Amino acid sequence: MTIHTTSQIRSPEQSLRPDHWVFPVVLLAVGTFAIGTDSFVLAGILPQLASGLHISEGAAGQVVTAFAITYAIAAPFLSVLTHRVPRKALIAIGLAVFVVMNAAGAFAPTFAVLLVTRVLCALGAASFTPTANAVSTVFAGPAARGRALSITLGGIALGTVFGVPVGTAIGQHFGWQASLLFVAAVGLVALIALSVVLPHLAGEAVVPLRRRFGVMGDPRVILVVLVTAVATGSGILVYTYIAPIVHTIAGISGGTLAIALLIWGVGGAVGAFGCGWFTDRIGAGPTSALGIAVLAAALAVIAFAGSPVVVLIAMFFGGVGSWAFVAPNNHMLTGLHPTMASVVISFNSTGTYVGQAAGAAVGGVLLVSGLGATPTVLIAVAGLVVAAILALAAWRATRVRG
């Protein structure tokens, strides 16, 4: 029986020259752009969605929650259960489900039907994204693995920063259904392009299911995922409640708040794309720790800023840091288990979603308790310091394997 490893999933005639890996990885990033947009686009048009389906805004918000929870739970299991499926086929199937379910959601007659389409859409996204990340590292090779991961991550960042506002504007002008159709259209472009450009990609190594699930019990993998969860949770603790925090600290609101959020988003795009360059040059662990440290420093400045200008500058660096550690962490994980890259990357995605949920919950409790804006931000900074130390510890634990 032939066993295919990740490094062997392309045949020699399909191998890409070093200067040719960027284009297919960018196409994969178009797909992650659609998914990044889809994750939050409905959050900006909840009033229209609630009105159109005759439900409360609180109930309408469950469509966002359903997507996130489904993705977080399903991603690792789908990666394990689909490891024998050729990568090109899995990418196409996942993206096709994502596109079809977004389109179907636009025509959902009831909230229940829409909720079902969001769950199925998340399953498609959970199949596509970890596979796209894993495949990008194969195209790029070890020397450019960090840059490849940063490009696919950058697609999600750009979706969050630019796709969500565009999709929200479309929904506000043409109805919430148009937002889903916009996402479906972007996903369809990626699906068609990838179907044409990608070579045949065999499945990952033929490994017993017990061993594939066992990867998630590897202490080194758990440590890296913990870094992602703690850093994400600490950042989200502040970002979720950034409006009341910066209003209390520096009197920022209205149009200035919108500018601050845009600046954070632009910084996020810089961090997502730039972290790959650093990863390939100084190592994944130092890059992850550096990104977390930049985020911690930015939040510390915000905590004591008395000037809107200072807050705006700090918001840029906060955005840089908040997107600069996930790709390096994925780099460490794929180095540990190159034959099961999609599994460990999907597990790291779960860490991201768990961190988001926990950070938002803790931030809400702290603010409601009357602790105050500055102490709340400083608690997040403390969490980030712990995460940075854990990132360096994870690097030491994983660098023997690359």
Please tell me whether residue 379 adopts helix, strand or coil conformation: helix
Instruction: Pick the range with the lowest mean pLDDT from 8-17, 210-219, 300-309.
Output: 8-17
Report the C-alpha gap between 314 and 299 in whole angstroms.
7
Residue ranges of the chain that CATH labels 1.20.1250.20: 16-197, 209-401
Give residue-wise pLDDT tens across range 252-261. 988 888 899 8
Asked if pLDDT for residue 400 goes beyond 90, the answer is no
Domain 16-197 has CATH 1.20.1250.20: yes
**Residue 229 confidence (pLDDT):** 96
Give residue-wise pLDDT tens across range 152-207. 988 998 998 889 889 988 998 999 999 999 999 999 999 999 999 988 776 555 55
Average pLDDT of the residues in 338-344: 84
Residues 6 or more apart from 204 whose CB is under 8 A from it? 4, 5, 6, 9, 83, 84, 87, 134, 339, 340, 341, 342, 343
Q: Which CATH architecture has domain 209-401?
A: Up-down Bundle (1.20)
**Residue 203 confidence (pLDDT):** 59
**Residue 272 confidence (pLDDT):** 92
How far is the CA of 255 from the CAs of 160, 258, 261, 341, in angstroms?
19, 5, 10, 43
Please tell me whether residue 388 adopts helix, strand or coil conformation: helix
Asked if pLDDT for residue 30 goes beyond 70, the answer is yes
**Residue 320 confidence (pLDDT):** 97
DSSP 113-174: HHHHHHHHHHHHHHHHHHHHHHHHHHHH-GGGHHHHHHHHHHHHHHIIIIIHHHHHHHHHHH
* % of the chain exceeding 90 in pLDDT: 52
Report the C-alpha gap between 5 and 10 in whole angstroms.
10
**Residue 5 confidence (pLDDT):** 37
Average pLDDT of the residues in 73-100: 90
Average pLDDT of the residues in 354-380: 90
Average pLDDT of the residues in 309-315: 96
Are 166 and 36 a contacting pair, CB within 8 Å? no
Residue 263: what residue type?
Answer: I
**Residue 250 confidence (pLDDT):** 93
Which of 6-15, 33-42, 198-207: highest mean pLDDT? 33-42
Which pTM was predicted? 0.81
Report the C-alpha gap between 360 and 123 in whole angstroms.
23
